[in-house]
Structure 1
Amino acid sequence: MKTLEMLLEYFKRNRLVNFGILIILAIILYGVLGSIFIMHLNIYDSIYYTIITIATVGYGDITPITPLEKIFTVTLILAGVGLLAYILTFIISSVTENLQNRRSGRIMAKRLAEMENHYVLCGFGRVGLSVFEELKKRNQKVIIVDMDEKATEDIEEDENIVVYNANATEDKTIKKLNIDKSLGVIIATGNDVDNLFMVLSIRELYKDAWIITRASKKENYKRLKHAGADKIISPEASGGV
């Protein structure tokens, strides 16, 4: 029942799949109308003839006689076999991928929820990598948050390391990181605006969170401190955390 609800929700949101379904219905409608007006069949035989022609079953009980009937049948076969096969393949693969993504999302949510006494590392560039290596040496648990999958693809995940490819500036992402049970949040992106936004969001959601952030420009130190950062570092001034 839950899977059915997920499928219905997916169809509602995915216009390409809906468009594919409309094309399939259009092919069936073409076959039925053509069978009525060209083959001179009744509605029931028209539906029957359309289905067996598209499915390439062809029992031989209804046979096109005139050139026009033969042309119609050929076009129906081409449309049915070619386009229908392509669209069905697309729909099946698309739905399967969506269900797999949903399942992966549930697994990720479970892993994130199970993390305790960990550090949340936002941003995995040069500084983020340096921070991660230091935390790893100390056998600390880490959730790495970065939108760039390529930046994190070489990280070997285990029970102490979770990679979450998402936008850390969004509240919905922040809420999944179990920050209230963490040892602290380390913001290491090279964008001071993003860092400021993350500090503000995290401090608003988690009053007691310990937040350390990177500042690329000295003039932003006060802004970050005022936003709620407990400690501010500069990659030029510090080699680690």
Structure 2
Amino acid sequence: MLLSVRSIASLLLLGGVVIFGVVGSFILGHLGHNFNECMNLINSIYFTVVTLSTVGYGDIVPITPIGKIFVVILIVFGMGAFLTALTSISGDIASKRILDLTSKLEKIEEEMSKVKVLLIGGGGVNISLAENFEKEKLKYVLLLSDKTEAEKLSEKGIKAYAINLISEDEIRKFHPEKVKSIIVDMQNSSDMLYVILILTELAKESNIITIVHNEDLEKRLESVKKIKDIKIINPSKQVANELLSLLQEK
């Protein structure tokens, strides 16, 4: 149900107050000169809406004690009904968002309990691994910083999620401590170093493999190895060494 019983009841109460205002002002307008304007149906609706919305243009006003008492009652009950409806509906919206978030987190936790490899970053190696893991039906999750890229990969069946990769809280949601291996392949060297430092705290029992694309980052990661034993792979260097070996053989 989109709205709770309480919200529906509060809306009905607000509707009742509006009807009370329209009918009451219409009757009072015809029983005597209680307002400064002729209270036909249009004026009664207009007066009620303007009064309950607290706009109060002042073009239609009560001019007798009975009219003023009626307006006071209308405002008191109207504001109460309006605030009750607003609170109830806001509560329903907030509750729905909390339930959606809880459901999403539970889904992530359930999925992560089966995951063996956590891929962090949208580097070429991680994308290729995700595609191969999907073909081989291996349990994995790919975390990206680019929402558009994550959506495109998800459309292809890749288990990709877009998060703030340099947020410890965001990474923590995917329980890196529960996976066997974590492969980090990011384009931004500074962000990658920061993520690895986060992982050294969150995933102390997991195997961390880093894919580096320049020697500067490789040297900086060597210092991290003093904190945790991480494996550093430089694909460019490996390819260069293999090509060199092939050329030397010829």
Mapping 1:181-220, distance limit 5 Å = 181-220=178-217
SS in 1 for 2:23: coil
| Residue pair 2:177, 2:204 contacting (<8 A) in 1 also | no
Write the distance in 2 (CA, Å) between the matches of 1:64 and 1:162.
67
Cα distance, 1:120 vs. partner?
0.5
CA deviations 1:33-91 (Å, max 9, x no partner) are xxxxxxxxxxxxxxx9x86453x46673553422358568614325758x97xx79984
Between 69-78 and 121-130, the greater mean CA deviation after superposition: 69-78
Mapping 1:22-101, distance limit 5 Å = 52-54=16-18, 56=19, 60-62=23-25, 63-65=27-29, 66-67=35-36, 70=39, 74-77=46-49, 91=90, 94-95=93-94, 96-101=96-101
Write the distance in 1 (CA, Å) between the matches of 2:92 and 2:220.
48
Write the distance in 2 (CA, Å) between the matches of 1:60 and 1:51.
12
| Residue pair 1:146, 1:165 contacting (<8 A) in 2 also | yes
Matched residues, number: 184
CA deviations 1:141-188 (Å, max 9, x no partner) are 111112333212232698xx7433322333323333343442311111
TM-score by length of 1: 0.58
Percent identity, please: 20
Code of the residue aligned with 1:100 in structure 2: it is D
| Residue pair 1:145, 1:168 contacting (<8 A) in 2 also | yes
Cα distance, 1:235 vs. partner?
5.1
Mapping 1:1-241, distance limit 5 Å = 52-54=16-18, 56=19, 60-62=23-25, 63-65=27-29, 66-67=35-36, 70=39, 74-77=46-49, 91=90, 94-95=93-94, 96-112=96-112, 114-116=113-115, 118-153=116-151, 154-155=153-154, 162-228=159-225, 230-234=230-234, 236-237=236-237
SS in 2 for 1:212: strand
Q: Report the CA distance shift for 1:91/1:69 in structure 2 as closer, same or farther (over 3 A).
A: farther
CA deviations 1:180-203 (Å, max 9, x no partner) are 442311111101111111111111
Write the distance in 2 (CA, Å) between the matches of 1:79 and 1:164.
49
Write the distance in 2 (CA, Å) between the matches of 1:207 and 1:92.
40
| Residue pair 1:190, 1:214 contacting (<8 A) in 2 also | no
Write the distance in 1 (CA, Å) between the matches of 2:107 and 2:172.
16
Q: Report the CA distance shift for 1:57/1:157 in structure 2 as closer, same or farther (over 3 A).
A: farther
Q: Report the CA distance shift for 1:139/1:211 in structure 2 as closer, same or farther (over 3 A).
A: same
Q: Report the CA distance shift for 1:226/1:69 in structure 2 as closer, same or farther (over 3 A).
A: farther
Unmatched runs of 5 consecutive residues or more in structure 1: 5-47
Which structure has the larger Rg over C-alpha atoms? Answer: 2
Q: Report the CA distance shift for 1:80/1:104 in structure 2 as closer, same or farther (over 3 A).
A: farther
Code of the residue aligned with 1:67 in structure 2: it is N
Q: Report the CA distance shift for 1:76/1:205 in structure 2 as closer, same or farther (over 3 A).
A: same
Write the distance in 1 (CA, Å) between the matches of 2:37 and 2:215.
80
Code of the residue aligned with 2:154 in structure 1: it is I
| Residue pair 2:105, 2:173 contacting (<8 A) in 1 also | no
Unmatched runs of 5 consecutive residues or more in structure 2: 5-12, 30-34, 56-81, 240-250
CA deviations 1:195-236 (Å, max 9, x no partner) are 111111111233332111122331121211221362223454
TM-score by length of 2: 0.56
Code of the residue aligned with 2:36 in structure 1: it is P
Cα root mean square deviation, aligned: 4.0
